[in-house]
Amino acid sequence: MSQNIKIHENALYINDELVTFDFNIDTLIIMDTKIIVLLDIPYDSSELDNIYAVDLKGKIIWRVEKAAKKYPKLRHDPYVGISMLDDKLLARQFYGQRYIIDPDTGKLVERYTVGRDW
């Protein structure tokens, strides 16, 4: 089934459904059953954990696990980049922390510390 997906600032339109966020949308990754959404967080905001998954009916199904809870000794900033590598969701924070996220649950699978810059 073909999906009609559009964004305008903080609004995500999926067919006839509207999902709004507190911040503008930066990036979408469209998957078979969900859309991964990265929000654009202003530099003066304390907001973190700015990756969401939305199903094709417009329901938010998860927000990324809190990195500060899982890795309390690291510095944490908003995410600024997301991409897919095979079946893994890769995410990068502003000051370079990188994580692999389970795209089905939003859980942090591991901290990615070596290899190429994706």
0.85 surpassed by pTM: yes
**Residue 110's closest CA among 94, 77, 83, 88?**
88
DSSP secondary structure code for residue 69 in this structure: H
Which residues touch 42 (CB under 8 Å, ≥6 apart)?
A: 23
1 pLDDT band (50/70/90 cuts)? low
**Residue 65's closest CA among 113, 41, 100, 28?**
100
**Residue 7's closest CA among 32, 31, 28, 34?**
28
Mean pLDDT of 36-57: 96
pLDDT, tens only, 53-87: 999 999 999 999 999 898 898 888 999 999 998 88
How would DSSP label each residue in 7-68? Answer: EETTEEEETTEEEE-SS-EEEEEE-SSEEEEEE---TT------EEEEETTS-EEEE---HH
Neighbouring C-alpha atoms within 13 Å toward the C-beta of 25: 21
Q: Looking up tokens 């990754």, which residue turns up?
A: 29
37 pLDDT band (50/70/90 cuts)? very high
